[in-house]
Structure 1
Amino acid sequence: MSYGDLNRRANRLAHHLRDTGQVRPDDRVAIVVRNPRDVIIAMLGVLKAGGAYVPLDPDNPPGVTQRIVEDVTPKAMVIESSAAAGAMYFDGELFVLDVMGPALTTPDTDPEPAATPSDLAYVIYTSGSTGRPKGVAVEHRAIVNTLTWRNSYYGFGPEDVTLAIPRPSFDSAVADTFCALTSGARLLLPRRDRITDRHYLTGLMEHGNVSHFLITPMLYKRLLDGMDAERVTSLRCVTVAGEWFTPSLTLEHCLRLPHVELYNEYGPSENAVCSTVHRLAAADERVLIGRPIENAEAFVLDEDGRPVGPGGIGELYLAGAGLARGYLGDAELTAKRFFTPAEGPAAGKRVYRTGDIVRRHAGGDLEFIERRDGQVKIRGRRVELGQVAQVLAQDPAVGDVHVLRHATDTDTPLLVAFVQGPAAADLDRLRATARENLPEYMVPSAVIPVETVPLTGNGKVDDKALISLYEGSVGRPGAGPQPGSEAEAALLEIWQELFAPLPIGLDDDFLDLGGDSLSVMDLLARVEQRIGVQLEVSDPYTDRTIRSLALVIEDRQNDKVGAK
């Protein structure tokens, strides 16, 4: 699609939203669209109308969509027919893009600009500690600062091709999409259902002349296994963002793609996607998040609000042009996290308290250390453990809930929920409740019943004791049936590596053990390497036990022999 065609389609939608939907500056328009190209048309249409777009994941459970729509109170919704369920809680102006779009007769010329720099551009929803998602409201001037800096820093231009990997509901997609469109670059839009398919993505890079992409570290780690410098010759830089990682990823990148630059971007949604950046090198002993971008400031303060010296550790506060307006409809939380100190190094400046603990290095670079609260990162997405606990605690059979993030040997962390009170028969209901009321990445991999939540000597929850309970409760503790074929034996070995230290049985469910999209990538890569069979990304979701997946592998092997 050319820029001209994209602009005309967005213009027709903008005129419709403005004239029929009465969308005006600061009005929110929810977008529930699955087709990647149509998502961009919808975002541009909303912005051209003068409104603020709110991207919602079409794959979210209805309960999640309902809570966000009630919170947003959108003036209009743009959906596609395959995601119509997302509009069941909305009774305002509705536009079905794939059905009504081709029939639009509104002008395809640019509408007169309506929004000002201080009006809302978009609202991104993240996990909230109170049990409800919170909407980060970002104004045009904030995101324009980030886009202007990124285009200059990376040197994006019409010769570039960006592979658009982040989902539209993820704030990285804002920078990814609009940096390309404001620099004249080409956007290559992958199929959303194959975003964790290594062969598919590397094929797009090779044949689409991709020069840059933004990706979470854990996904990039898996993608690197299939990348070859001789095949991705057009690739000039990669940006990782969204979660902490180790120097081993940097080293692996430099070994496989020595001529491709690697950057680490850090930034909460509350500071327009990006706050600091660091170019990574093979010799790095630590992963740094770098220094503030243009027109941004970073303050590292101790518990008394005093700046820490070189080598010191403190909490990170951000200031500058990228700060969000605050949280939509939540003045109390906004005042708590966004404020203007009366004294100290940030006196008189509006700051955002990140909750991130960082180390300030002598040269000015920052290093992420940990969170100061119950927020964690799962697959690059922010998860408030309190929100997960709140959803489970609504069940009348539950007395107490404690949720924790459990690191694994495969670098794919799991969420595990420990619940006090429910009988074993209630656990399936609790799992169903989680799936119905939480986004997929926030659903606990396991729900473990406990008589009491163990405490340490100083009265805090004993996470180590809970993890021991978890590791003893999943899988089969004793010797189960032995593998009956070479495929079963190979799969058992792979699963034991993926889910260590859990005991694994031939009939254990892949998803119940904690399998997710990244685990699927690991599984497919190891099956191909050790057995020589290339599984489809969908196979572990449909054949979820070792026994059933082994039959799929054997069928593929027989097909290969028959073809020969």
Structure 2
Amino acid sequence: MNRYEHHLTLAARRRPGHPAIVHAGGRTSYAELDAAADRFADGLVQHAAFANGDRCVVFLDNRVETAVAIFGTLRAGGVFSVVNATTKADKLAFVLNNCEAAVLFTQASLAPVALAAAAQAPSVRRVVVVDESAEAEGGDVVGYDAFTTVAEPGCAAARPAGVDIDLAMLVYTSGSTGNPKGVMMTHKNIEHAASSITTYLESHEDDVVLSVLPLSFDYGLYQLLMCVKMGATLVLEKSFAFPQKVLPLLASEQVTGFPLVPTMAALIVQIRNFDPAWAQGVRYITNTAAALPPAHILKLQEIFPHAKVFSMYGMTESKRCTWLPPDQLAKRPDSVGIAIPGTEVWVADDDGRPLPPDTVGELVVRGGHVMQGYWRNEEATAKALRPGRYPWEKVLHTGDLFRMDAEGFLYFVGRKDDILKSRGEKVSPKEVENVLYALPGIREAALVGVPDPIMGHALKAIVVSDREDLDARAILAHCRAHLEEFMIPRTVEFRDALPKTNTGKIRRSVLQAEAEGRPAPDEEAAA
């Protein structure tokens, strides 16, 4: 039993009646989740001729069926990819075509987008729609209930067994070209990352984790994967849009673990009528994406007096890279810590050689959690994965600039490429700029990130327009219609012209340096 879906099998045997997921529809036990994953796997095999290594794209909100699809796909020998529910049809179509998805799993409220995308993806053999209100059956489209009611239930013998080095998931992350890249993770990768994280969190089977993070976001996805590994309970909420409705669950569900991003922390510390009873059982709080401001760390420690606060750094390509032991928070609140257990990190020069303490360089990561590469993108893979210490290994060059102090603690400095991180999500400026350019009247456009202590970067669009009637409100409305929520600029600045190279390329790095209040990079001036 060395594939990750076996953790669900083991948990269902060990504690069948224990709640695996608490969700809007009620409570699903491990036995129920295990049986539902079996039915989904059988449906893939019988209704979609699913074969070893086939891909299933999951386009759903945070709901129990998302978990069913994840483990059902693995159980059928396949590869899952969870896509953010706010994704538009064109981007979803790109993902479907890029990974040559065999099945697209969605819900009734998202069916128009899903079907529009599937119509552009000839590889998709079945679109499965969940919700009783779905009336989309016929042809290649089938309702969830019909899909999971198979003629020959329990056809486990028809499923390929597979091994731990098989591909398990694709996580699509923004790329510098504007098209997302599919990060390839095997069962072994997931096991290594989950084992390391649950080790330093001291996770156990009686934990109850409250997560409002999207399951399309690897930080949110791993809350599910780690809970199933431990046989613990995941309280799954759709979002943190209404904190006063979510926070009481900390008490009513006896939550012990609470993963946050800085935007959530900012809301929590500002709540004046926070009930101390909500926080009594919380044993740990985790944070990743951007660093928490020291003032927020102090306030969280005051609000959650029994909780350890874990500051962490990671990226999709390796899940988690570093963690800061909670007893170091007071001494170095701006540090992202040390390498997670079972891994190695160092700050390197351009040739990958370790640099002395307090020297800025690129963070390099080695370990069993490092991705296999980007799906069908050899150029990007070769840039990120380079030869390591041994002939058979590749190490991850993160593209992020760090320094390490004399005691071995790491500090994030900045990013080498143009990718911005806002609200815990990676944003490709090129992708947003492509949308801006689609609006009539936009002549030049650039997206920059204004440093923000909560969001990481607050996105700002800088545009040149030849339309006098085009205002910021119209531009933002256009962005809302074509982009996921986290990619929408917060502000718009109009200019007469943007700085360019001699070849006419907009010097985004100059604009970014300006937004950060630092000198423009010299190499751009000669480009």
Conserved? CA contact 1:25–1:120, under 8 Å: no
1:391 maps to 2:418? no
Matches within 5 A, 1:436-455: 436-453=481-498
Give the residue type in structure 2 aligned to 1:96: V
Q: 1:151 aligns with which of 187, 193, 198?
A: 198
**Whole-angstrom CA distance in 1 between matches of 2:278 and 2:314:** 32
1:212 maps to 2:245? no
**Whole-angstrom CA distance in 1 between matches of 2:477 and 2:241:** 25
Conserved? CA contact 2:399–2:417, under 8 Å: yes
Specify the SS of the correspondent of 2:248.
Answer: helix
Give the residue type in structure 1 aligned to 2:294: P
Specify the SS of the correspondent of 2:214.
Answer: coil
Give the residue type in structure 2 aligned to 1:280: P
1:29 maps to 2:73? no
Q: Which moved more, 1:373-382 or 1:425-434?
A: 425-434
Q: What RMSD over aligned residues (CA atoms) do the two structures have, in Å?
A: 2.7
1:88 maps to 2:112? no
**Whole-angstrom CA distance in 2 between matches of 1:424 and 1:446:** 18
- Using the TM superposition, give the Cα deviation of residue 396 of structure 1 relative to its aligned residue in structure 2, in angstroms: 6.8
- What is the aligned partner in structure 1 of residue 446 from structure 2? 402
Q: 1:287 aligns with which of 310, 334, 338?
A: 334
CA deviation digits over 1:189-245, x for unaligned, max 9? 22x2x5232211210101110000212122123223444544322110011112233
- What is the aligned partner in structure 2 of residue 322 from structure 1? 369
1:39 maps to 2:86? no
**Whole-angstrom CA distance in 2 between matches of 1:364 and 1:97:** 49
- What is the aligned partner in structure 1 of residue 282 from structure 2? 235
Cα pair distance change 1:109/1:223, threshold 3 Å: farther
**Whole-angstrom CA distance in 2 between matches of 1:119 and 1:450:** 51
Q: Which moved more, 1:156-165 or 1:95-104?
A: 95-104
Give the residue type in structure 1 aligned to 2:469: A
**Whole-angstrom CA distance in 1 between matches of 2:455 and 2:370:** 32
Q: Which moved more, 1:104-113 or 1:276-285?
A: 104-113
- Using the TM superposition, give the Cα deviation of residue 43 of structure 1 relative to its aligned residue in structure 2, in angstroms: 1.0
Conserved? CA contact 1:392–1:434, under 8 Å: yes
Conserved? CA contact 2:420–2:428, under 8 Å: yes
Specify the SS of the correspondent of 1:7.
Answer: helix
Give the greater-gyration-radius structure (CA): 1
1:305 maps to 2:348? no
CA deviation digits over 1:449-492, x for unaligned, max 9? 32112589xx8735587799xxxxxxxxxxxxxxxxxxxxxxxx
- What is the aligned partner in structure 2 of residue 478 from structure 1? none
Give the residue type in structure 2 aligned to 1:101: Y
Cα pair distance change 1:340/1:230, threshold 3 Å: same
**Whole-angstrom CA distance in 2 between matches of 1:188 and 1:286:** 29
Conserved? CA contact 1:316–1:355, under 8 Å: yes
Conserved? CA contact 1:218–1:412, under 8 Å: no
Q: 1:19 aligns with which of 35, 42, 46?
A: 46
Q: Which has the higher helix share?
A: 1
Matches within 5 A, 1:516-527: none
**Whole-angstrom CA distance in 2 between matches of 1:42 and 1:64:** 21
- Using the TM superposition, give the Cα deviation of residue 369 of structure 1 relative to its aligned residue in structure 2, in angstroms: 1.5
- What is the aligned partner in structure 2 of residue 98 from structure 1? 131
Unaligned runs of 5+ in 1: 469-564
**Whole-angstrom CA distance in 1 between matches of 2:470 and 2:390:** 51
- What is the aligned partner in structure 2 of residue 140 from structure 1? 187
Alignment size in residue pairs = 460
Matches within 5 A, 1:348-387: 349-387=393-431
Give the residue type in structure 2 aligned to 1:50: G
- Using the TM superposition, give the Cα deviation of residue 144 of structure 1 relative to its aligned residue in structure 2, in angstroms: 0.8
Cα pair distance change 1:465/1:215, threshold 3 Å: closer
Cα pair distance change 1:120/1:211, threshold 3 Å: same
**Whole-angstrom CA distance in 2 between matches of 1:35 and 1:286:** 32
- Using the TM superposition, give the Cα deviation of residue 11 of structure 1 relative to its aligned residue in structure 2, in angstroms: 0.4
**Whole-angstrom CA distance in 1 between matches of 2:341 and 2:512:** 41
CA deviation digits over 1:83-126, x for unaligned, max 9? 21213222522222335333433325766553322222111112
Q: Which has the higher strand share?
A: 2
- What is the aligned partner in structure 2 of residue 277 from structure 1? 323
Cα pair distance change 1:408/1:327, threshold 3 Å: closer
**Whole-angstrom CA distance in 2 between matches of 1:247 and 1:68:** 39
**Whole-angstrom CA distance in 1 between matches of 2:453 and 2:73:** 44
**Whole-angstrom CA distance in 2 between matches of 1:314 and 1:408:** 23
- Using the TM superposition, give the Cα deviation of residue 380 of structure 1 relative to its aligned residue in structure 2, in angstroms: 0.5
Unaligned runs of 5+ in 2: 1-27, 119-123, 133-142, 502-506, 518-527
Give the residue type in structure 1 aligned to 2:410: L
Conserved? CA contact 1:164–1:214, under 8 Å: yes
User: How much identity, in percent, do the aligned residues show?
Assistant: 26
Conserved? CA contact 2:285–2:307, under 8 Å: yes
Q: 2:386 aligns with which of 334, 339, 343?
A: 339
Conserved? CA contact 2:432–2:487, under 8 Å: yes
Q: 2:82 aligns with which of 55, 60, 63?
A: 55
Conserved? CA contact 2:293–2:454, under 8 Å: no
Give the residue type in structure 2 aligned to 1:416: K
**Whole-angstrom CA distance in 1 between matches of 2:512 and 2:346:** 31
Give the residue type in structure 1 aligned to 2:510: V
Conserved? CA contact 1:8–1:108, under 8 Å: no
Conserved? CA contact 2:339–2:345, under 8 Å: yes
- Using the TM superposition, give the Cα deviation of residue 392 of structure 1 relative to its aligned residue in structure 2, in angstroms: 2.4
Q: Give the TM-score taking structure 1 as reference length.
A: 0.75
**Whole-angstrom CA distance in 1 between matches of 2:500 and 2:78:** 50
**Whole-angstrom CA distance in 2 between matches of 1:314 and 1:18:** 48
Conserved? CA contact 1:142–1:323, under 8 Å: yes
Q: 2:99 aligns with which of 72, 81, 88?
A: 72
- Using the TM superposition, give the Cα deviation of residue 251 of structure 1 relative to its aligned residue in structure 2, in angstroms: 1.6
Cα pair distance change 1:229/1:395, threshold 3 Å: closer
Conserved? CA contact 2:90–2:117, under 8 Å: no
